[in-house]
């Protein structure tokens, strides 16, 4: 045979000689400590890439919101589509408000400011807030209710034979205008079966000027010191029916000299 067997020392060793190196597990553990193998699908996303995507979405949405024409074909046509509607305001809104009767305007003012205490039916809350329906302070002359609304009422008060010891009504002279006070008084004096004369803004303006230096709210003795049939200047006589809705107010006859 021509083939000769190489001596053991001259053989080329292939692979790792596990007899002369560390164990395989220790080698793998060292590699793991050097660098972790990447995991597919769990790579962290760059913060800069997140910022770029966020800006792209923001500006894209802003562009669509401004130039989309409400996603309608007529929105981008300068000659098509219905004309834009305008909200009623200014002189038109004031005209619509003026077309309402004082009773209707007063009803809205009452619902927004007075209904919580005196209730929608005008019966108030027993022991706390006095009623306005059939109240001698509401259906008598216009001076007493004008004083109450302008400057407020505090302390015990007796209405329709029932005592209200915790009755406290805030003054409205700093909150409501003369006309709004007149409208709500007109509503209260002609609602829930009440049948008293209306009140005008000019009357409240005169009373406001008269009570300008009054420091605090009125009490029941203050109201009882005023005659029950006392009217504000220019008011209608006690017992006169309020004008019908939509009808112009009747002119007041001047007292005989």
211 touches 158 (CB < 8 A) = no
What per-residue confidence (pLDDT) applies to 3? Answer: 54
Whether residue 236 has pLDDT greater than 70: no
Domain spans, the chain = 47-71, 101-224
**In CATH, what number does 101-224 get?**
1.10.760.10
- CA 250 to chain CA mean position, Å: 39
- CA 142 to chain CA mean position, Å: 33
133 touches 122 (CB < 8 A) = yes
pLDDT tens sequence across 49-85: 888 888 888 888 877 777 665 555 555 555 555 555 5
CA pair distance 234, 226, nearest whole angstrom? 17
pLDDT tens sequence across 105-140: 999 999 999 998 899 999 988 888 899 999 999 998
H-assigned helices in 68-124 = 91-99, 102-113, 115-118
Smallest Cα–Cα separation from 30: which of 19, 21, 41?
21
Note the maximum CA span of the chain.
164
218 touches 192 (CB < 8 A) = no
pLDDT tens sequence across 147-196: 999 999 988 999 999 988 776 788 998 999 999 999 999 999 999 999 99
Specify the range with the lowest mean pLDDT, choosing from 43-52, 141-150, 241-250: 241-250
Smallest Cα–Cα separation from 107: which of 89, 88, 120, 123?
120
What per-residue confidence (pLDDT) applies to 51? Answer: 86
């Amino acid at each position: 045979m021509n083939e000769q067997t190489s001596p053991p020392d001259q053989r080329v060793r292939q692979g790792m000689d596990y007899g002369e190196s560390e164990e395989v597990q220790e080698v793998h553990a060292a590699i793991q400590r050097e660098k972790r193998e990447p995991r597919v699908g769990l790579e962290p996303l760059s913060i800069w890439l997140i910022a770029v995507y966020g800006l792209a979405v923001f500006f894209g949405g802003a562009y669509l919101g401004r130039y989309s024409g409400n996603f309608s074909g007529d929105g981008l046509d300068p000659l098509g589509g219905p004309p834009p509607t305008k909200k009623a305001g200014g002189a038109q809104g004031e005209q619509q408000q003026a077309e309402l009767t004082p009773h209707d305007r007063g009803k809205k003012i009452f619902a927004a400011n007075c209904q919580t205490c005196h209730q929608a039916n005008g019966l108030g809350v027993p022991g706390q807030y006095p009623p306005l329906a059939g109240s001698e302070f509401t259906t008598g002359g216009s001076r007493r209710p004008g004083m109450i609304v302008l400057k407020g009422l505090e302390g015990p008060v007796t209405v329709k034979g029932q005592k209200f010891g915790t009755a406290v009504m805030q003054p409205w002279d700093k909150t409501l205008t003369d006309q709004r006070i007149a409208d709500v008084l007109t509503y209260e004096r002609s609602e829930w079966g009440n049948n008293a004369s209306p009140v005008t803004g000019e009357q409240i303006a005169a009373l406001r000027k008269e009570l300008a230096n009054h420091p605090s709210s009125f009490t029941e003795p203050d109201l009882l010191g005023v005659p029950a049939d006392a009217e504000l200047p220019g008011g209608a006589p006690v017992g006169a029916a309020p004008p019908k809705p939509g009808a112009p107010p009747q002119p007041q006859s001047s007292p005989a000299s």
